[in-house]
Amino acid sequence: MVIGVASATSAAAGSYETPATAGSHETPAAADFYGDSCEGLADLGLADVNQISAELVTTGSFKDPEGEGQDQEDLPEFCRVALTVEPQVNIEVWLPTDTYNGRFQAVGNGYMAGFIAYSSMSPALRAGYATASTDTGHPDTGTSGAFALAENGERNWQLIEDFASRSLFELTKKSQQLIEAFYGNEPEYSYWTGCSTGGRQGLMLAQRMPAAYDGILSEAPAINWDRFLVAEMWPQVVMHQDLGGPIPTCKLELATEAAVEYCDPLDGVVDGLLEDPRRCDFDPASLIGQETPCGVFTEGEAAAIQKIWDGPRAADGSFLWYGLEPGAPLGDDPAGVGETGGVWEPGEAGWDRLAGTNPFLVSEQYIKYFVLADPDWDYRTLTYEGFEQVFRQSQEMFNDVIGTDDPDLSAFRDSGGKVLSWHGWNDRMIFPMGSIDYFDRVQEELGGDVTDFARLFMAPGVDHCAGGPGPQPVDPFAELVDWVENGDAPEQLTAQRVENDQVVQTRPLCLYPAVAQYTGTGSIDEAANFECLTGPVD
């Protein structure tokens, strides 16, 4: 089986380039204590480690030991260290030999983790980085949340804490110790990269281990975990409570297409993208009575779609969390994460759109196992009143554990760390306004402009970590390295759309809160004809 969460880290596992400054380094020699022996690392006494192995990989290939479809090719020679920290946190550290560039890059997971991200470690290794990943301490791969419950039906707080944070701290400490032992020196620079859950992990480290990393690339981060995962169930509650079941996909797609067509001109160029969806005031009621291949568009369906876009509200109408943006895809994804052929069963991967026939499985699993601790819970029984109760309970129980939204990054700032984050406006899973909400609160907490160490970029038309009709960010990790090592803070990120292996469009992704605006001359497919401007949001 190919792990369904591999795509969640694909953006962070892009085509890395060795930093321009790497040429000034001599390749460090392994520590004399081990006499250049990779295998000798297995004898290193590491606290709380109950199992460790080390082997030199010289074949250029690596076979995923779990058979999960992450086999790798074209690898340089490296020392592979696999270890287990009590009780069951598995960590792998890959140490390049002749190609080491003096730097460390740890990589994050996706979804509920439960796997070593070999597909993200390999690009880092090829670029000369020592690299590491952890399964976060539980055996349930990808979308399952069953690990949160012990056999006696009680919450397994050890595994929950390991997943939320402890595994990340252990990965960091153990990797640094192994790097120093093998090369004789600490890495000159340490980086974290990850998207989705991996993005959340990076910000968790910035908040609770602030001196550990010089640079963190946090893409579409799954922060605000205790709120957004419950909010992902909101479309299902709306459709079942108001309509008795899901809205047909063709009607949901019609609403999305109509919203984009209506609001597209607001940014000054008609290109199928909403530069800032917050300005879009399209009313789905305008579609009532329209004939579609799946029936007449009804008043109830229009009202339900508006609720889905608005996001969860309490019984008194007050704000709970954000909703999907008008450009984000709704309805069933024909491919489906789990390729279930149209039938979803508990335990299988679910579709990755929130307003589809079935709920997004990670949300369903989180509510079932983490919040309610009830393996028999059926999402179709969730009422509006019950939704608010679950939302409040999740906040109370898990914000401190895994919310990852502490805005006080002063210690990270003071340690000299840099965090670069970006989020796609068409994200179908993690509400992009959650990233804006967090960065706004960081600025409020620290008294104003924080762009000296923290920068956020919004990507119009880009889906979760990648995909969608919008131009995709091009190697933001290289931008982070340049910022950390050369002091060149990015004012914008380059993005491009590729068709048939050809770049057909480029655009700047602007430093939040600026947005890209067409200058009025030249091709709308060339980044040079756009400028980043800051203006009020209607």
Query: Which structure tokens are listed for 362?
Result: 């990670």
Beta carbons of 225 and 402 less than 8 angstroms apart? yes
Q: Where in 255-379 does DSSP place strands (E)? A: 291-292, 295-296
| d(C-alpha 224, C-alpha 80), whole Å | 34
Q: With beta carbons less than 8 A apart as the criterion, state whether 251 and 259 touch.
A: no
The answer to whether 81 and 180 have CB atoms below 8 angstroms apart is no
Q: Are residues 440 and 404 in contact, defined by beta-carbon separation less than 8 angstroms?
A: no
Residue whose pair of structure tokens reads 């003096």 in the numeric block:
102
Residue type, 521: T
Whether 364 and 382 have beta carbons less than 8 Å apart is answered as no
Q: Rounded CA gap, 377 and 56, in Å?
A: 48
Phi, psi of 517 (to 5 degrees): -125, 140
> Around Cβ 76, how many Cβ atoms within 10 Å?
17
| Measured distance CA(379)–CA(387) in Å, rounded | 10
DSSP string, 33-50: GGTT-SGGGGGS--TTEE
Q: Say if residues 253 and 284 touch (Cβ distance below 8 Å).
A: no
Residues labelled as active-site residues = 196, 427, 464
Among 172, 211, 202, 201, which residue's Cα sits nearest to residue 413?
Answer: 211
- CA torsion 322-327-331-332 (nearest 10°) is -110
Inter-residue contact 156 to 150 (CB < 8 Å): yes
Ramachandran bin of 361, using left for φ above 0, alpha for ψ from -120 to 50, beta for the remaining angles: alpha
CA dist 171 to 20, 53, 163, 168, 443, Å?
A: 27, 15, 12, 5, 29
Q: How far apart are CA 236 and CA 383, in angstroms?
A: 10
